[in-house]
Chains A and B, each alone.
Chain A
Amino acid sequence: MRDIVLLGLNHKTAPVDVRECIAFTADETDRALVMLRDNPTIGESVLFSTCNRIELLMAVDERDAAVTIAKQFIAEFKKVPLAQFENSLYQYVGDEAVRHTLQVAASLDSMVVGEPQILGQMKEAYRKATVEKTSGVILNKLLHRTFFVAKKVRTETGIGDHAVSISYAAIELGKKIFGDLEGKRVMLIGAGEMAELAVEHLIRNRAGTITVANRTFSRGVELANRFRGKAIKFEEIIDCINDVDIVISSTGANDYVLRKNQVKAAMKSRRNRSLFFIDIAVPRDIDPDINRINNAYVYDIDDLKGIVDENIEDRNREALKAQRIIDEAVIGFRKWFDTLKVVPTIVSLRGKVESMARQELEKTLVSLSHLSESDKRTIERMTGALVNKILHEPTDYLKKDGCRGNKSVALDITRKLFKLEENH
């Protein structure tokens, strides 16, 4: 019976320079799969490679031989000496391999637990394997089950809920204040990766006009063009506050860019419409006292980090729920896997008994040549019926759950009792 073996390395076991060397591009994956298919020791295979993880999932007859060949294959294909990455490799067999695959797909093994891309990446890897016909009965079943369980984990646990990045957390807050972010006008003061990322998220949520203010006007124009917004001079900020709903601030200024009295006056002329300040700068750009004004909300980078940390804790708690779902799935898969052994055993048993019956029938009929054809057929039918009736109970017992989890033992005894050939 074939074993499931998983060999690989990820961001927890190998540094980025090792992962860089071992990662397979899309083309390389295709070529590698063809080579693996041609190798007789590797029965079924699926190759999964991202920037954080490279894993080879196989169904093989001889575990140790397959592992050795797989390691050599990777070393040769990627032209990297085995010694350079061998220490980072981990190896899982049978139930543990199944569990690991489920965990990866459910994003429990990712850098950020609950990240949504991993499932799509795995599906793509599986698709390649089906195109190259490197996956068979076992891996097909395993991966189909994996995708099903991953989806179940996402919908039944909160593992993917809530933002775990500063920019996302800001957007989430914006939604709690404004409901829909569509059409909400944004002002970006300054520049910086996190701030610009937040603006991009807002644009994706169909925000309204983007106004950019930068001490260096040309830089402001550059950003404004990128976001298809308009640039204003730094001094114009306070005038334009009236016409925006969300302000993202990230300048290098040592002093506050906006003060309480300025915003208070602005609120009056804005007729108290809500204003949301996202202050990513250190030292802070927005006077925190502004938070005390009615309908104005100020969140600085510590506040946002606090939300992200809480969310990460939540996700880790949800990960426990996910583990329970995965544990159940591993047991379910093992049950299916065991039935694979039943069929050949039953076929084998039947074959042996039927061939014994046939031999005896032929011997007997030779010495009964005086019998009519119909009489001979009657005797044939009798032997057939005898074989069926004798095998009925044992077959039933092996097929159904009658052996209550001790299927392997029952199968083993059956083979021993009837001296059946071991077949894989």
Chain B
Amino acid sequence: MEPVFIIATLVYMLSCACYFGYLFFQKPIFQRTAVGLMAAGFALHTVSLVACGIRAGHFPVNNLHETLSVTGWAIAAVFLAFFFMYRLKVLGIYAAPLITLVMIAAYQMPRPMSQDPQLLKSWWLAAHIITIFLGNAAFALACGLGMLYLLQENAIKKKTRGFFFSRLPSLDLLDTTGYASIVVGFSMITIGLITGVVYAKAIWGRFWSWDPKEVWSAISWLFYAALLHKRLTVGWRGRRAAIMAIIGFGVILFTFFGVNFLLQGHHGTFTAM
């Protein structure tokens, strides 16, 4: 498992380098190679995770190392899906470095054994984890798209065409893809929360424990629900949507990592170090 993980990380890094080449030189060969490498890295990564899971007998989210690894995997999965649907080439310049950093962080983490493996053997749990991770990955991408939107919008408003102007797609495309990203993310975390609640009832006998992670997940869910509602009714789109996507991801980050490090609760195993 270990060597496959390292190779996958290296392939992601190469993909990242190719994306930077594309950003600076704008030659299509860089972009095509970058996506190819990303896909290859993703395949290797999948193999690594599946092997890890089979060996351990349960979903590999035992500790911070594994959690980060799955995070990187989820971001790659969502990015590749979006790339094939929307052909948003330039998003790779945000996704590839993000994935690489997450993987490098994962590599640095120690790998203590699980405190309670029994806790992790369940299909509800697997569904809960997968959907939450994919949802968060989608929100991460929406955040990236929001940042790209703000960059491009600034160039158009200030009437200066800097480095990014010709390299970024239209505002409309960035906005639409960001919106799609949030819809996907929201759907995913909705399923994630439902499965989590069902699993909690099965394991601990209660649907809701006021565990900090549960609370903050609910807050995240409400935030994005409000965002979507406002977009459809009042028209929170364009600049406002971009800013909200970035703030929303901040909330997600806190929900995901902040809670584990700063507050106590039964989700602590996932970030055990």
Binding site for B on A (CB under 8 A): 173, 175-180, 268, 270-274, 291, 294-295, 297, 299, 303, 306-307, 310
Return chain A residues, CB-CB under 8 Å to B169: 179
B14 to chain A, nearest CB (A): 27
Q: Mark B157-181, 1 if CB is under 8 A from A, else 0.
A: 1010100010001111100000000
Shortest beta-carbon distance from B154 to chain A in Å: 12
Once the chains bind, are A271 and B240 in contact (CB under 8 Å)? Answer: no
Verify B173–A179 contact, CB threshold 8 A: yes
In order of increasing CB-CB distance, the 4 nearest A-B pairs are A271-B235, A179-B170, A272-B235, A179-B172
Is B157 a contact partner of A297 (Cβ separation < 8 A)? yes
Residue in chain A with minimal CB distance to B171: A177
Pairwise interchain contact B237-A303, C-beta atoms closer than 8 A:
no
- The residue on A at minimum CB distance from B158 is A291
Expressed in whole angstroms, the Cα–Cα distance for A180 and B172 within the complex equals 9
Q: Which residues of B contact A306 (CB under 8 A)?
A: 159
Task: Please tell me if the beta carbons of B238 and A272 are within 8 angstroms of each other in the complex.
Answer: yes
Q: Are A295 and B172 closer than 8 Å at their CB atoms?
A: no
Contacts of B239 in A (CB 8 A): 294-295
Contact status A274-B238, CB under 8 Å: yes
Bound-complex Cα distance A179 to B149 (A): 13
Asked whether, in the complex, the Cβ of B161 is within 8 Å of the Cβ of A291, the reply is no
Give chain B interface residues in 140-158, CB to chain A under 8 Å: 152, 156-157
A122 to chain B, nearest CB (A): 29
A291 lies within 8 A of B157 (CB) = yes
Measured in the bound complex, the distance between the Cα atoms of B146 and A250 in whole Å is: 34
> Does chain A have a CB within 8 A of B254?
no
Identify the closest chain B residue to A176 (Cβ).
B170
List, in ascending order, chain B residues with CB within 8 A of A310's CB. Answer: 161
Whether A272 and B172, one on each chain, are in contact in the complex, defined by CB atoms closer than 8 angstroms, is no
Indicate whether A274 sits within 8 Å of B159 (C-beta atoms), given known contacts A176-B152, A176-B165.
no
Chain B nearest CB, measured from A157 CB (Å): 13
Closest to B175 in A: A274
Closest to A274 in B: B238
Cross-chain contact A272 with B170 (CB below 8 angstroms): no
Given A178-B171, A271-B234, A272-B234, 10 more A-B residue pairs with CB atoms under 8 Å apart are A176-B165, A177-B156, A178-B170, A179-B172, A179-B173, A272-B235, A272-B240, A274-B172, A294-B240, A297-B156
B contact residues vs A (CB 8 Å cutoff): 152, 156-157, 159, 161, 165, 169-173, 234-240
Q: Which residue of A lies closest to B165 (CB)?
A: A176
Q: Return 23 A-B CB contacts under 8 Å, by A number.
A: A175-B170, A176-B152, A176-B156, A176-B165, A176-B170, A176-B171, A177-B170, A177-B171, A177-B172, A178-B172, A179-B173, A180-B170, A271-B234, A271-B237, A272-B234, A294-B238, A294-B240, A295-B237, A295-B238, A297-B156, A303-B159, A307-B161, A310-B161
User: Contacts A173-B156, A176-B165, A299-B159: A270 and B235 contacting too (C-beta < 8 A)?
Assistant: yes
A179 to B88, CA, bound (A): 12
A291: chain B residues at CB < 8 Å are 157
Q: Determine the chain B residues whose CB is within 8 A of the CB of A179 once the complex forms.
A: 169-173
Instruction: Give chain A residues whose Cβ lies under 8 Å from the Cβ of B235.
Output: 268, 270-273
User: Which B residues are in CB contact (< 8 Å) with A270?
Assistant: 235
> Is the beta-carbon distance between B171 and A274 smaller than 8 angstroms?
yes
- Residues on B with beta carbons closer than 8 Å to the beta carbon of A272: 234-238, 240
Q: When chains A and B are docked, how far (Å) is the Cα of A303 from the Cα of B240?
A: 25
**Which chain B positions have C-beta within 8 A of A303?**
159
Determine the residue in chain B with the shortest Cβ distance to A272.
B235
Q: Which residues of B contact A178 (CB under 8 A)?
A: 170-172
> What's the nearest-Cβ distance from chain B to residue A288, in Å?
11
Report the Cα distance A22→B169, complex, angstroms. Answer: 47
B157: chain A residues within 8 A (beta carbon)? 291, 297
**Min CB distance, B179 to chain A, in Å?**
13
Cβ distance A297 to chain B, nearest Cβ, rounded Å: 6
Taking the closest CB of chain A, its distance from the CB of B123, in whole angstroms, is 42
Chain A contacts of B165 at CB under 8 A?
Answer: 176
Give Cα distance in the complex from A299 to B159, angstroms: 8
How many Å lie between the Cα of A179 and that of B173 in the bound state?
6
B116: min CB distance to chain A, Å: 49
CB contact between A273 and one of B156, B173, B237, B240 (< 8 Å): that residue: B237
When distances are taken between beta carbons in the complex, the residues of chain A under 8 Å from B234 are: 271-272
Tell me, in angstroms, the Cα distance from A173 to B156 when the chains sit together.
Answer: 8
In the complex, which residues of chain B have a beta carbon less than 8 angstroms from the beta carbon of A274? 171-172, 238
Contacts of B237 in A (CB 8 A): 271-273, 295
Give B52 Cβ to nearest chain A Cβ, in Å: 42
Interchain CA distance A189-B157 in the complex, whole Å = 22
Shortest CB–CB separation between residue A186 and chain B, in angstroms? 16
Measured between C-beta atoms, what is the minimum distance from B242 to chain A in Å?
A: 10
In the complex the two chains form, what is the Cα distance from A178 to B165 in whole Å?
Answer: 14
